[in-house]
């Protein structure tokens, strides 16, 4: 499978615990994005990486959230001291900056987080 992969697909955690999600983008894609989607809504942008540099962070990304892409390949999204309001699906996406293919953004299957 050469698509965007995310792990874990589902996570149930107790309030106050830390969770980490991993995203492996399509191998030749240098751009990586994280989005959050709550029930009944469209995805909302969280953050963007070009290679290993985090170039934009949404105001939705509070201090409890941190994302990394240390070698410009896979990325992790960590949520510290989870709150019930963090319950959502976290979607990772990737794209290429090269030519017309940069117009296509591919998403993974998402990581569902439930905070109890």
Partner 1 sequence: AQKITQTQPGMFVQEKEAVTLDCTYDTSDPSYGLFWYKQPSSGEMIFLIYQGSYDQQNATEGRYSLNFQKARKSANLVISASQLGDSAMYFCAMRRPSGGYNKLIFGAGTRLAVHP
The one among 77, 95, 113, 115 contacting partner 1 by CB under 8 A: 95
Give the other-Cβ count within 10 Å of 89's Cβ.
18
Give me the torsion for CA of 79, 82, 86, 90, rounded to 10°: 30
CB of 16 to partner 1, least distance (A): 26
Question: Applying CB under 8 A, what is the total number of residues that bind partner 1?
Answer: 28
Bridge partner list, 90: 36, 111
State the binding string over 6-45 for partner 1 (x if CB under 8 A, else -).
-------------------------x-x-x----xxxxxx
The nearer residue to partner 1, 35 or 65, going by C-beta atoms, is 35
DSSP string across 1-45: --S-EEE-SEEEE-TT--EEEEEE--TT--EEEEEEE-TTS--EE
- Which residues make up the interface to partner 1 (CB under 8 A)? 31, 33, 35, 40-45, 48, 50, 55-56, 89, 91, 93, 95, 97, 102-110, 112
């Amino acid at each position: 499978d050469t698509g965007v992969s995310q792990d874990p697909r589902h996570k149930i955690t107790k309030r106050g615990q830390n969770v980490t999600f991993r995203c492996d983008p399509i191998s030749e894609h240098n751009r990586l994005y994280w989005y959050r989607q709550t029930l009944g809504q469209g995805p909302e942008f969280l953050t963007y990486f070009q290679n290993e540099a985090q170039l934009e962070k949404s105001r939705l990304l509070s201090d409890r959230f941190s994302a990394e892409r240390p070698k410009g390949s896979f990325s992790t999204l960590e949520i510290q001291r989870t709150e019930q309001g963090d319950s959502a699906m976290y979607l990772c996406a990737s794209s290429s900056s090269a030519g017309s293919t940069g117009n296509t953004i591919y998403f993974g299957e998402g990581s569902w987080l439930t905070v109890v």
